[in-house]
């Protein structure tokens, strides 16, 4: 079978197409024929050795996200059967409840080998069934970005209809958060780098858009749009460079979901205290969250937003497209 590895993890050009024998499922494992994959910002960090403590293991198979068909099962498999359409979970070994320490080290395409291969073995406990109305490429967008957005909005204090959600930018996580908040009956304010992307955000259900290049003090625009109150939730993907403004854009007692590391900077903790804001660290989510999310996606017949699909043989181009950051939603690799 064909698969990709990162022999040195020194950049996108290091992504190497290679061959290996097809894997054979052992007890409790299923073998998947992968039909599509998707990229996350994290995959750029993995490819350049900037992800996690100790960097990227040489020779790693990249990517956490993909969708595939069960083509063989090992002994004692009960949760899946041949022909099932499934996605592996981002973190292997986190079925539900609070995050399990060991599972944090077993993230696909990070701590352990990922899914950018034609065939993949997965433990039967670490997969979810795909919403029936989604095609392979749509389903491949779900494991990291969508589950992260779901966890941010529904993983702790659950978003209520009528509340306001601020999403930063129009990348994978933020567009899913926009879509989930919209179907939950919340009001969404989106920021972005361009009017064209903001028009897309509005078409997807954002009530308001703020161009953060034209309005660098965008937290004030959020306060103005909420009658001086601020947003109930902020889906914070920007990192230290945007966090002070995200805290200022949150209402007193509001929640900021800490997700991203796109920018660097210094944080003054005093406004967090003065505004009684809760900062909640998010690391993707459990299988239970993935399953709850899939029920909502199925009920609302929600469709992930795909920006562009690249062929398997052009995976490097997909990485470069993500790096260019012209996308809205998800960058996908098709079989
Ligand atoms: N903690 C977790 O579990 C978890 C899970 C998934 C992702 N993440 C992190 O979340 C971040 C986003 O990931 P992703 O996969 O959604 O990335 P992505 O698809 O590459 O999206 C990045 C987008 O963020 C926007 N952006 C960039 N700089 C910004 C800034 N200064 N202010 C506001 N928006 C900015 C841009 O959209 P516009 O041009 O529209 O502004 C850009 O296209 C990354 O740091 C990633 O590592 C964390």
Task: Establish whether residue 193 lines the binding site of ligand 1, counting it when its CB lies within 6 angstroms of any ligand atom.
Answer: yes
Q: Are residues 136 and 8 in the same domain?
A: yes
Q: What is the pLDDT of residue 335?
A: 85
Domain that holds residue 218: 147-281
List 172's β-bridge partners, or say none. Answer: none
Residue with CA at minimum distance from ligand 1 atom 6: 145
Q: What is the pLDDT of residue 252?
A: 97
152 close to 233: Cβ distance less than 8 angstroms: yes
Separation between Cα atoms, residue 118 and residue 1, nearest integer Å? 6
- Domain annotation covers residue 157: yes
- Domain annotation covers residue 299: no
List 86's β-bridge partners, or say none. Answer: 68, 129
Q: Are residues 322 and 257 in the same domain?
A: no
Task: Establish whether residue 192 lines the binding site of ligand 1, counting it when its CB lies within 6 angstroms of any ligand atom.
Answer: yes
Separation between Cα atoms, residue 156 and residue 199, nearest integer Å? 31
Q: What is the CATH number of the domain that holds 118?
A: 3.90.180.10
Q: What is the pLDDT of residue 53?
A: 77
Q: Are residues 57 and 114 in the same domain?
A: yes
Q: Are residues 160 and 131 in the same domain?
A: no
Q: Are residues 211 and 162 in the same domain?
A: yes
Ligand 1 atom closest to Cα of residue 174: 16
Q: What is the pLDDT of residue 62?
A: 98
- Domain annotation covers residue 290: no
Q: Are residues 119 and 174 in the same domain?
A: no
Q: Are residues 200 and 264 in the same domain?
A: yes
User: What are the C-alpha distances in Å from 25 to residues 69, 167, 196?
Assistant: 14, 41, 47
Q: Are residues 152 and 200 in the same domain?
A: yes
- Domain annotation covers residue 93: yes
Average pLDDT per 10 consecutive residues for the chain, totaling 335 residues: 96 97 98 98 95 89 98 98 98 94 93 97 98 98 98 94 98 98 98 98 98 98 98 97 97 97 90 96 97 98 98 98 98 95
Q: Are residues 198 and 235 in the same domain?
A: yes
Contact residues for 203 (Cβ-Cβ < 8 A; gap 6+):
none
Separation between Cα atoms, residue 113 and residue 59, nearest integer Å? 9
- Domain annotation covers residue 286: no
Count of the separate structural domains present in the chain: 2
Separation between Cα atoms, residue 12 and residue 88, nearest integer Å? 24
Q: How many CA atoms lie within 13 A of 297 on its CB side?
A: 26
Pair of tokens at residue 145? 């970005």
Ligand 1 atom closest to Cα of residue 197: 40
- Domain annotation covers residue 297: no
Contact residues for 31 (Cβ-Cβ < 8 A; gap 6+):
22, 23, 24, 25, 70, 71, 72, 73, 119, 120, 121
Task: Establish whether residue 151 lines the binding site of ligand 1, counting it when its CB lies within 6 angstroms of any ligand atom.
Answer: no
User: What are the C-alpha distances in Å from 245 to residues 74, 129, 237?
Assistant: 51, 38, 12
Pair of tokens at residue 121? 């073995």
Dihedrals φ, ψ of 64, to 5°? -95, -20
Q: What is the pLDDT of residue 333?
A: 98
User: What are the C-alpha distances in Å from 235 to residues 41, 58, 98?
Assistant: 16, 33, 20
Q: Are residues 6 and 134 in the same domain?
A: yes
Residue with CA at minimum distance from ligand 1 atom 4: 259
Give the DSSP per-residue string, 11-63: SGGG-EEEE-PPP---TTEEEEEEEEEE--HHHHHHHTT-SSTT-PPTTB---
Q: What is the pLDDT of residue 132?
A: 98
Q: Are residues 216 and 311 in the same domain?
A: no
Separation between Cα atoms, residue 72 and residue 56, nearest integer Å? 30
Q: What is the pLDDT of residue 116?
A: 98
Q: Are residues 114 and 198 in the same domain?
A: no
Q: What is the pLDDT of residue 55?
A: 87
- Domain annotation covers residue 187: yes
Q: What is the CATH number of the domain that holds 157?
A: 3.40.50.720
Task: Establish whether residue 106 lines the binding site of ligand 1, counting it when its CB lies within 6 angstroms of any ligand atom.
Answer: no
287: region left, alpha or beta (phi > 0 left; psi from -120 to 50 alpha): alpha
């Amino acid at each position: 079978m064909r698969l990709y590895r990162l022999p040195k993890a020194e950049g996108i050009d290091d992504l190497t197409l290679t061959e290996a024998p097809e894997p054979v499922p052992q007890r409790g494992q299923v073998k998947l024929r992968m039909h599509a994959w998707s990229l996350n910002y994290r995959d750029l960090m993995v490819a350049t050795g900037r992800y996690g403590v100790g960097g990227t293991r040489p020779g790693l198979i990249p990517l956490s996200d993909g969708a595939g068909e069960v083509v063989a099962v090992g002994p004692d498999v009960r949760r899946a059967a041949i022909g099932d359409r499934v996605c592996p979970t981002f973190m292997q070994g986190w079925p539900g409840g609070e995050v399990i320490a060991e599972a944090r080290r077993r993230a696909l395409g990070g701590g352990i080998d990922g899914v950018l291969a034609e065939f993949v073995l997965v433990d039967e406990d670490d997969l979810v069934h795909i919403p029936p109305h989604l095609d392979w490429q749509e389903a491949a967008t779900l494991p990291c970005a969508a589950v992260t957005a779901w966890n941010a909005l529904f993983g702790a204090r659950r978003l209520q209809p009528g509340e306001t959600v601020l999403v930063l930018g129009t990348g994978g996580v933020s567009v899913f958060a926009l879509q989930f908040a919209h179907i939950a009956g919340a009001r969404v304010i989106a920021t972005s780098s361009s009017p064209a992307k903001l028009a897309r955000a509005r078409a997807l259900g954002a009530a308001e858009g703020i161009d953060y290049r034209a309005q660098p003090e965008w937290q004030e625009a959020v306060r103005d749009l909420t009658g001086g109150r601020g947003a109930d939730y902020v889906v914070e993907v920007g990192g230290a460079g945007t966090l002070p403004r995200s805290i200022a854009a949150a209402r007193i007692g509001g929640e900021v979901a800490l997700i991203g590391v796109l920018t660097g900077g210094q944080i003054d903790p005093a406004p967090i205290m003065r505004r009684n804001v809760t900062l909640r660290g998010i690391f993707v989510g459990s299988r239970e969250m993935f399953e709850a999310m899939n029920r909502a996606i199925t009920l609302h017949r929600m469709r992930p937003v795909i920006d562009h699909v690249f062929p398997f043989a052009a995976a490097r181009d997909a990485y470069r497209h993500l790096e260019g950051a012209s996308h809205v939603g998800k960058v996908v690799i098709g079989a």
